[in-house]
Amino acid sequence: MSGRRGARTLVGMLAGAVLGVVELVFLCVAGPVRLVPATRPTCDRIAERLLALERARLATWLGHRTAPAGGGYGFLAVRAAVGLVIGYGVAAGLFFSGLLLFGGLWDLLTGESESVPVDLPGVKVISNTGVVGLLTGGFLFVLTLTGALGAGAAERLLAGRFLGPSSQERMRRRIAELTATRSDIVRAVDDERRRIERDLHDGVQQRGIALAMLLGRAQHSADPGKAGELVAQAYTESRQLLDELRSVAWRIYPTALDELGLRAALAGIAERSSVPVTVRYGLSERPVSEIETALYFIVREAISNAIKHAGARDILVMMDEDEQTVSVTVSDDGAGGADPSGGGLSGLARRVRALDGAFTVDSPPDGPTRIAATLPKEVPCG
């Protein structure tokens, strides 16, 4: 692993030297050219592309990922100077160490080595040019590799300083993010309360009124046959009222999620769905309560939208995990065109952001629709 890291660092330093030459040429040209206002956008676009190449080099060869925005001409100027110096040193070290190693090995294989006396205090050693070349080349290579690793660490520090936000800026962004998340949570709770109120008013309450009216008519009916018919209708209405109450309670929070876990709750969603739903559950253990609840509501809302709005005929739910995160993807073959800013999807996005997760909606006009979320395994504490 360390050898691979050293090799990647060497390649990264050499690539940095090439980029340093390009950046130096660009800065020399862009300096006077930017004095003309019309050329500034072009220069800025080129600078952004050079910065993107630097970020790709840092991520690929030095294992350092930076923010997608940041940097500028100041970073390019420092990077050009540093890249040329470091790249020249690495290239020279590799060239001379390779030359010495190859020359020493050649002398040993051809037998053309000459004796070389080495006088040390109290010690006299007679060696030959081949051995001396191999030893010197090996030492120079190790020295070059060590220098490249040190230069790589310096490059990462430089990138963190210029391409990444400062600690104060990160703190400011985090505070702003937490403030926005708190507002999102309050808004999501209010939206959920309004939806529950609509469900109760439009469904349960209306059925309760109908049930009371039927029972009242049966009570005041003088005809026993008519009264029996009204009671039978009231019984049917009461069964529908109970189903409506169970449906509202299930939409608020399913007891199966607490009692049986996420896998069973998702299986219940699939069974109640009017279209085929395939669930591929790839989690090795049960998530923590907050994450489990978020995953459940993401799947439930996505399936509901696919059936109600997209006319989907087949739905696939995939749940997976890695060492740090759990992810869920809900795909359907419906008409597409889902609006991420709609009430249901925006509520899911707020719920996911509140847990430091990522939420995406990919729904072209003709479909298919793919809703994905990635959440940390541990609940963030702010």
pLDDT of residue 167 exceeding 60, the answer is no
- Closest by CA position to 354, among listed 156, 172, 185: 185
Provide the β-strand partners of residue 124.
119
pLDDT in tens, 252-309: 666 667 778 889 888 888 888 889 999 999 998 888 888 888 898 899 888 988 888 8
Residue 341 in contact with residue 325, Cβ under 8 Å? no
Residues near 9 by Cβ (< 8 Å), separated by ≥ 6? Answer: 61, 62, 145, 148, 149, 151, 152
CB atoms within 10 A of CB 345: 20
pLDDT in tens, 95-140: 999 998 888 888 888 877 677 676 667 666 667 777 888 888 899 9
Q: For the chain, give the longest Cα–Cα distance.
A: 131
Residues near 251 by Cβ (< 8 Å), separated by ≥ 6? Answer: 196, 199
Handedness of CA 148, 153, 157, 159 (dihedral sign): positive
Helix (H) or strand (E) holding 372: strand 369-376
pLDDT at 353: 83
Query: Which residue bears the tokens 């220069």?
Result: 43
Provide the β-strand partners of residue 116.
127
- Closest by CA position to 73, among listed 112, 34, 36: 34
The verdict on domain 257-376 having CATH code 3.30.565.10 is: yes
- Closest by CA position to 17, among listed 110, 105, 121, 87: 87
Cis omega before residue 165 (within 30°)?
no
Rounded distance, CA 261 to CA 249, Å? Answer: 17
Rounded distance, CA 30 to CA 34, Å? Answer: 6
pLDDT of residue 1 exceeding 70, the answer is no
Q: What pTM value is reported for the model?
A: 0.47
pLDDT at 222: 78
